A and B are shown apart, each in its own frame.
Chain A
Amino acid sequence: MQKKILGNSYVLLIMVLLYIPIIFLVAYSFNSGTIMSGWSGFSFIHYQQLFADTRLLKILLDTFILAISSATIAAFIGTIGALFLDSFHNKKNLNVFSSLNNVLLVSPDVTIGVSFLILFTILGFSLGFVSVLISHIAFSIPIVLLMVLPRLREMDNTLIIAARDLGANRGTILSQIVIPEIWPSIMAGFLLALTYSLDDFAVTFFVTGNGFSTLSVEIYSRARQGVSLEINALSALMFAVSLLLVLAYYLYTTYSDKKARLTK
């Protein structure tokens, strides 16, 4: 019993420590003053400022457009890559390619960012939305591949044989048997790529140019002159959105778990 109380309070302490900065940040977004030190009263002034700040809102929109398009394209390319890798019957080749993929996953963002900057400069490619998009797609593909490949390898091969036996050609097998089978992993890869893209600072910082910025880069450049509470308001809103997403995910998984158990 005592052990349990000790354990619980330990976990609680950790949670509080982790959440304190965020709670602090959210609380101050409602401060009527302009700085983080000293509470001068409750107000929505920073939210009003935020919604009036068209530059920031445009950047927010750009960030989401970038994330959705890079994750979609990466999901597409990554899935095709996984399908090709899965068709390798030589285990050695497969392992080599999987390892090369994992190297990309663990290599620091700074390395990727700098290398893309060098590449774009050598090619004389102008830096902007397209260069950022290309780099985001590039670092997202390995993520999708990591999610999709195991599912493909686990897939029961006789399903494909059975479909062929019933008269299906390669295209039909792919669209009606294989893709539905690996769809959950493609979605998981897409969502993971989406969050990576939304989060990314280092790669974007190197390859973006004039006229295009993402939220993290913008916040970083503004923060150098001291964080305005408008940023707090924006962060609070984004935090709320993440909370909602987690909640939705939780409800979705418990519902499908229940369904899976009932149908067994």
Chain B
Amino acid sequence: MDKKVLPVIEFKNVGLSFDNNQILKNISFEIATGQFYTLLGPSGSGKSTILNLISGQLSADAGEILFDGKVINNIPAENRRVNTVFQNYALFPNMTVFDNVAFGPKLKKMPKDKIKAKVREMLALVKLEAFENRAIQELSGGQKQRVAIARALANEPEVLLLDEPLSALDYKLRKQMQSELRAIQKRLGITFIFVTHDQEEALAMSDWIFIMNDGKIQQNGTPVDIYDEPINHFVADFIGESNIINGVMKQDYLVNFVGKDFENLDAGMQLNEPVEVVLRPEDLDLVPVDQGKLIVTIADQSFRGDFYEITAIDDDGNEWKVQATNPSSVGARVGLDFGPEDIHVMRFNESEDDFDARIESYEGE
């Protein structure tokens, strides 16, 4: 990220505990303006807590939270330039759609005609032009979601916080709202911070993902970086499907697992260091036995629409998940093929900084 541009939000060693339970452990990160960020993690990982710290619903025990370069730890929620879209929408039931969206602008004492224009603009943005006078009870779940987005954006926040806003919608509607949200963010050019536990959603929408677990940021990066180069077992397992196998790094660019040596693209580790090896199911190909790098037996196969999900067992008893476009048959002996670029090696307990430094050390050559 460009060093000259001030981050819009910065966390410096932020910590938070409830009843001796550490929810956030010494978190530091920066959020740049105009990007789509996602906080991704299982429930209880601390992702919503970060959102509540930014919005001011919670206050940190330790560390500093900066907004536009100023510490905001003690600024109350109503005076922060952020707004939130809530998971359960939290629309005001006694007000119409118009009054819900106008709630923020009215509090700012905007002139009436400006409020009207603002509300119309926001409802147009979420494609609800004709719904101004509807009661909230008359709306469907998807429409309520749109009103919630319009209401939060009507306040012209610098940062929009979205707390699992799509989790109550059905699959198709969720897909549609994902691309619409992305389009709205691009059009307005403000920062979105999106919280979700759905990794598919995170990969599809984000410029930058923070993976949270256990009150810590496990890894952050672009969706492609995180998918291709997970830093540890948790990230590899949480993002996408993966085969994770124990191995040994023989030397740079040579890894040993299931009793065989394989060429790969990872380096910078100690000789004979024990490691974990990640192979994505979609990178594995089923080939005739004599052409395979490994020989496996098909144990299970299920049709998933656009691919077949196959479980195969190698001769050492390791399970391999494979995604194949063509069906195989259960019980068949087949070869398993993959290239050096499909192998990703992870060290045990490597921090994100060490990981980045190591990658730089040999990729810069």
Contacts and interface: CB of A to CB of B under 8 A. Distances in A.
Interface string A251-264: 00000000010011
A180 B77 contact: no
A177 B90 contact: no
Nearest to A180: B94
Contacts of A159: 90, 92-93
B280 interface: no
A236 B244 CA distance: 87
Interface in A156-183: 156, 158-159, 161-169, 172, 176-177, 180-181
Interface secondary structure of A, over-half rule: helix
Contacts of B135: 263
A235 to B, nearest CB: 40
B295 to A, nearest CB: 56
Interface stretch (B42-50, B103-111, B208-216, B345-353): B103-111
Contacts of A164: 57, 77-78
Given A166-B151, A180-B94, A158 B107 contact: no
Contact of A167 (B57, B90, B108): B108
A181 B77 contact: no
Interface string A93-119: 000000000000000000000000000
Contact of B137 (A165, A166, A169, A263): A263
B84 interface: yes
Given A164-B77, A168-B107, A177 B92 contact: yes
A166 B86 contact: no
B83 A165 contact: yes
B57 A161 contact: yes
A167 B135 CA distance: 22
Contact of A264 (B79, B84, B137): B137
Contacts of B196: none
A165 B84 contact: yes
A166 B155 contact: yes
B104 A156 contact: no
A172 B107 contact: yes
B90 A169 contact: no
Contacts of A156: 88, 90
B78 A169 contact: yes
Contact of B107 (A162, A166, A181, A264): A166
B138 interface: yes
A163 B88 CA distance: 14
B72 to A, nearest CB: 14
B64 to A, nearest CB: 22
B206 interface: no
Nearest to B81: A167
B55 interface: yes
**Most A-side CB within 10 Å, residue of B55, B83, B107, B155:** B107
Contacts of A158: 86, 88, 90
17 contacts: A156-B88, A158-B86, A159-B92, A161-B84, A161-B90, A162-B86, A165-B57, A165-B84, A165-B152, A166-B78, A166-B152, A167-B79, A177-B92, A180-B94, A181-B94, A263-B137, A264-B137
Interface of B: 55, 57, 77-79, 82-84, 86, 88, 90-94, 103-104, 107-108, 135, 137-138, 151-152, 155
Given A165-B83, A166-B152, 13 more contacts: A158-B90, A159-B90, A163-B103, A165-B55, A165-B78, A166-B103, A166-B107, A167-B78, A167-B155, A168-B103, A176-B92, A177-B92, A263-B138
